[in-house]
Structure 1
Amino acid sequence: MTASKVAFDPFSEEFFNGPWEIYRRLREEAPVYYNEEYDFYALSRHEDVAAAYKDFETYSSAYGLDLSTVRSNEPMMAKMIIMMDPPEHRQMRSLVNKVFTPRAIEALRPMVTETIDRYLSQVESERFDVVRDFSALFPVQVITQMLGVPEEHRRQVGEWVDITLAREPGQIDMSEKGMQAVGELMGLYYNIIQQRRGEPRDDMFSRLIAAEVEREDGEKESLDDFEIAGFATLLGGAGAETVTKLVGNAAVTFARNPDQWQKLLDDRSKIGAAVEELLRYEAPNQYNVRRSMREIELHGVTIPEAKPVFLLTGSANRDPEAFTDADTFDIDRDRTEAQNLGFGYGVHSCLGAALARMESAIALERLLDRMPRYEVLFDECKRVAAQNVAGWSSVPVRVLN
C-alpha cells in the first residue's frame, strides 16, 4: 500500500485545527511544496524560511501578504510598511521607529497593566472564557488607546479587524463585509488624523504626523495621511490579533503541560521565556506570503518567477533540525539554538514585537494570580478560522481551589 501524497491547503478545516502533522510531512517529503489547485509554493524548513525572510530581493513583500493579493501580480497601492521592499521600506521604517522606541514602549506599561487588570477584574471568579472574556478584549483597547482613538470607537475597531481576517474553510479572498470593514477603519483613522493635524495630542497619531526623516538628498520627509492610516490599520490588526491568540494559546498549552505552569508559579522570572516559547510552539502568525522575483532552484524544485510563496513560520519553528525536541513545549529551552521566527525575521521583523511581548507577559502574570490551578473545558473550545492566524476563539476555563 502506497502512502498518500502530502497535501497542504491553508484554507481547510484541517489547517485551522492544527497543522503540525502536515508541517512534519512537508519538511520531510516536500520541503518546496507546490499546490496545483491554488498555484502556490510553500517553504517549511527553518533554514529555508529564515533565508527567504532575509532575501527581500528574491521574495518580495510589495505584492501583498496573502495569496489573494500576491497572485494578482500587481504591486500593492496601499502604503503599508509591511507591503514594501527596501529602499522604500527602509525610509518608512526609520520614520515609524522614531515613535516605537524602547522608551516609548516602556512608558506604556502603566496603561497596559491598568487595561489588563480592568478586564480581568470583570470575569467570573470560578469559570470564564480566557479569549472571549479577556484576551479578545484588552489588546485592541491597548492599541487604540496608544494610537489615540476616542473611547467610543475602540470596541468597533476590534470588530472591524475580526471581520477583515475571518475566512470560511475554502475562502481565499476577503469577504465583501471585510472590504467594507477596511474602508470604515481607514475612514475613521483618516478623520482622527485630520483632527490631530489641527490639534496634536500626546498619542501615536500625533507623533506619526510629527515624525520626519532625512532623505539621501538632505530633504526632510514625513508621512501623509493615507500612510499613517495604513500603518494604524496594520498596527491595529497585527497588534491586537497576535496578543489575543497568544494568550488564548497559552491557556490551552499550559493546561496540556501543567509542569510548565508550575515552573511559572514557582518562578515568575521565567515569564519572559514562556512568552518566547509560546511564540515558537504555536505562533499566532502561521505564515506570510511573498512573490518570487526570479526563478528559484531549491531542493530540486524550480519555483518560477512571479509565483506566490508561503513562508511557513509555524512549521519552521517546529523544525527538529533547528530546535531540540521541537514538538515539546519547554519554557527552559536553549534560546540560542535557532532563530525564533514567531515575530518574523529580517527587514520585516515585527515592529510591535516589544509591545506584544510586554502585554503577553503582564497578562500571563495576572492569569497566574487569578488561576494558579485551572482546567480547560476542551469540549467547549473553538478554533479560529482566519487568514494565516492560529489560535482559539473560545477557551472556557474552570478555576480550581
Structure 2
Amino acid sequence: MTNTKLVFDPFSREFFDGPYDIYRRMREEAPVYYSEEYDFYALSRHEDVAPAYRDFDTYSSARGIDLATVREGQIPPHKSIIVLDPPEHRHMRRLVSKVFTPRAIAELHDMAAEQIDRFLAQVNPDGFDMVADFSALFPIEIISRMLGVPEESRTQVRLWTDDLLQREVGQMEMSDVGYNAVVELARFYYGLTALRRKDPVDDMISKLTQAEIERDDDEPPTLSNMEIAMFASLLGGAGAETVAKLIGGAPVTFARFPDQWKKLQEDRGKIPDAVEELLRFESPNQYNVRYSMKEVTLHGVTIPAGKPVFLMLGSANRDPEAFTDADTFDIDRDRSEAQNLAFGLGIHSCLGAALARMESAIALDRILDFMPEFEVDVENCTRVNMQNVAGYEHVPVRVRR
C-alpha cells in the first residue's frame, strides 16, 4: 500500500499522460472515489461501471456528459441524443439507428477502404506521424462523406472538433476557443441541414430531414434543423476521434507487445480481435459523467443525489477482476470474460461502433502491408490533453526496410 494520497484529477498532467496507475489505486483503495477539489464521485470497477451505464434512472445523462456541464446543471434547449434520457432518447435512437443498419455500414466499406488507401499512400515510410499524417485524417473524411459535408469544409470540421475537446492542464471549463468551435459547428450543420431540406441528395443529413420521429409532445414529427445539427456535430466528432486515437496509438501498443503484431502478420483473421483488444486496452473514450438522480450506496460510500458521477470505462476495461491479466495486451483474449465498455453500454452505447470497428479493421489490414516491420520514436510520442478522450497526438514512426 502506498503512503501517498490518492488523487484522481481528470485535468492533470498525470491523467493526460496515462491514467492506468491511478485507476489501479482507485479500484483497490477507493472504488467509489470522491474528489474534494471538484466535488464529484467516480466509479472505477467493472462490476460497478457496467450496471451504472444501464441504470439511467439513477445516473442521468440529461445534464450532459462532462463535469463542467453537469455541475452547471442547465439543461440545453436544443438537446443532442447523448444527453437525452428515455422516453425522448428512445424515440431519437430508434430513428437514427435506421441509418446505422448492418447493410448501411457494409455499403460504406469500399468508400472507407478507398479513403484509407488514399491517405496511407501519401505518407513517407522513412518517417511519418501515424496520427497527424494518417489516423487523424481518414476518419473525418469518411464520416463527413457519410453526413454529406462538402469536401472543402471537412478539415475545418475536424479542427473545430479538436478545439471543443481540448483541455489544458488544470482546465475544467471549455475555453473561449472551444465555445466558439461549438457555435461554429452547430451553425455549419444547421446551414447544411437547411440546404439539404430544400435540395436533398444521397447523404445522411438529407435522410434525417425526411424522416419522422415519434414524440410525446405537440412538436412536429420531423426533426428540426437544430436537432439534426446537434446529432451531426456529435457523430462527426465521436465518429472521427475514436478511430483516430485507436489507430494512432496502435503502433505504440504493438511495439510494446511485438508478439501480438507477429500474430496478426501470420493470421489476418485475427484483425477483428485485435481491434477489440485495442479498444479495451487503450479505450479512446476514458469516461463519461452522469448526474445522480437519487442517493446510492456502493462499497460503504453513499453518493448523494444531485452529484456528478464519473463512469470510468477506461479503468473498468483494465479491471483484473473482470479480465485475466488485464494489463497485458492479448488479441487472443477470451471475449466472454467480461463486457468491453469502450463504446459504453445500454441506451447510450455508441451508435457508430460498427462503423468504427470496420474502419479500424481496414486500417490495421493496410498498415500490416505498409509497415510489416517498424520502429516507434517513443521519446517523441505525445498524448492529447482532451476531455473524455485519451490517446496520442503525435506518434513518429519509421518503416524498417
Normalised by the length of structure 1, the TM-score is: 0.98
Q: In the alignment, does 2:5 pair up with 1:5?
A: yes
Code of the aligned partner of 1:101: T
SS of 2:393's equivalent?
A: strand
Match of 1:118 in 2: 118
* Per-residue Cα deviation, 1:92-119 (whole angstroms, up to 9, x for no partner): 0011011111111111111111111110
* Per-residue Cα deviation, 1:209-235 (whole angstroms, up to 9, x for no partner): 112234589998221110100000000
Q: In the alignment, does 2:378 pair up with 1:378?
A: yes
Match of 1:64 in 2: 64
Match of 2:312 in 1: 312
Code of the aligned partner of 2:43: L
Match of 2:73 in 1: 73
Q: Is the 8 A contact 2:58 2:294 kept in 1?
A: yes
Match of 1:45 in 2: 45
Summarize the Cα distance change of 1:216–1:85 in structure 2 as closer, same or farther, 3 Å threshold.
closer
Match of 2:342 in 1: 342
SS of 2:221's equivalent?
A: strand
**Residues in 2 aligned to 1:290 and 1:214: alpha-carbon distance in whole angstroms:** 26
Match of 2:284 in 1: 284
Q: In the alignment, does 2:298 pair up with 1:298?
A: yes
The runs of 5 or more residues in structure 1 that have no matched partner are: none
* Per-residue Cα deviation, 1:135-194 (whole angstroms, up to 9, x for no partner): 011111111111001111011100110111110000001110111111111111111111
Summarize the Cα distance change of 1:218–1:388 in structure 2 as closer, same or farther, 3 Å threshold.
closer
**Residues in 1 aligned to 2:72 and 2:218: alpha-carbon distance in whole angstroms:** 36
**Residues in 2 aligned to 1:29 and 1:289: alpha-carbon distance in whole angstroms:** 21
**Residues in 1 aligned to 2:212 and 2:2: alpha-carbon distance in whole angstroms:** 62
**Residues in 2 aligned to 1:216 and 1:74: alpha-carbon distance in whole angstroms:** 22
Q: Is the 8 A contact 2:285 2:390 kept in 1?
A: yes
**Residues in 2 aligned to 1:78 and 1:322: alpha-carbon distance in whole angstroms:** 38
SS of 2:398's equivalent?
A: strand
Summarize the Cα distance change of 1:142–1:178 in structure 2 as closer, same or farther, 3 Å threshold.
same
Code of the aligned partner of 1:191: G
CA RMSD in angstroms comes to: 1.5
**Residues in 1 aligned to 2:344 and 2:372: alpha-carbon distance in whole angstroms:** 32
Q: In the alignment, does 2:151 pair up with 1:151?
A: yes
1:379 deviates by 1.2
**Residues in 1 aligned to 2:134 and 2:286: alpha-carbon distance in whole angstroms:** 22
Match of 1:210 in 2: 210
SS of 1:212's equivalent?
A: coil
Match of 1:229 in 2: 229
- Residue pairs, 1:386-401, within 5 angstroms: 386-401=386-401
* Per-residue Cα deviation, 1:325-350 (whole angstroms, up to 9, x for no partner): 11110000000000000000010000
Code of the aligned partner of 2:318: R
- Report sequence identity in percent: 67
**Residues in 2 aligned to 1:195 and 1:220: alpha-carbon distance in whole angstroms:** 19
Code of the aligned partner of 1:383: R
Q: Is the 8 A contact 1:95 1:222 kept in 2?
A: no
**Residues in 1 aligned to 2:373 and 2:280: alpha-carbon distance in whole angstroms:** 24
SS of 2:77's equivalent?
A: coil
**Residues in 2 aligned to 1:107 and 1:210: alpha-carbon distance in whole angstroms:** 21
1:126 deviates by 1.8
SS of 1:146's equivalent?
A: helix
Match of 1:140 in 2: 140
Summarize the Cα distance change of 1:54–1:394 in structure 2 as closer, same or farther, 3 Å threshold.
same
Q: In the alignment, does 2:107 pair up with 1:107?
A: yes
1:128 deviates by 1.0
Code of the aligned partner of 2:61: S
The runs of 5 or more residues in structure 2 that have no matched partner are: none
- Residue pairs, 1:343-358, within 5 angstroms: 343-358=343-358
* Per-residue Cα deviation, 1:25-68 (whole angstroms, up to 9, x for no partner): 00000000000000000000001000100000000000001000
**Residues in 2 aligned to 1:299 and 1:394: alpha-carbon distance in whole angstroms:** 40
**Residues in 2 aligned to 1:180 and 1:220: alpha-carbon distance in whole angstroms:** 30
After TM superposition, the structure 1 stretch with the greater mean CA deviation from structure 2, 310-319 or 71-80, is 71-80
Code of the aligned partner of 1:6: L
Code of the aligned partner of 2:264: L
- Residue pairs, 1:115-264, within 5 angstroms: 115-214=115-214, 221-264=221-264
* Per-residue Cα deviation, 1:208-263 (whole angstroms, up to 9, x for no partner): 11122345899982211101000000001111110100001211101111100000
Matched residues, number: 401
**Residues in 1 aligned to 2:218 and 2:224: alpha-carbon distance in whole angstroms:** 19
**Residues in 1 aligned to 2:25 and 2:75: alpha-carbon distance in whole angstroms:** 33
Code of the aligned partner of 2:279: L
Q: Is the 8 A contact 1:98 1:211 kept in 2?
A: no
Code of the aligned partner of 2:310: F
Q: Is the 8 A contact 2:213 2:223 kept in 1?
A: no
**Residues in 2 aligned to 1:21 and 1:319: alpha-carbon distance in whole angstroms:** 12
Code of the aligned partner of 1:277: E
Q: Is the 8 A contact 1:273 1:331 kept in 2?
A: yes
**Residues in 2 aligned to 1:239 and 1:21: alpha-carbon distance in whole angstroms:** 28
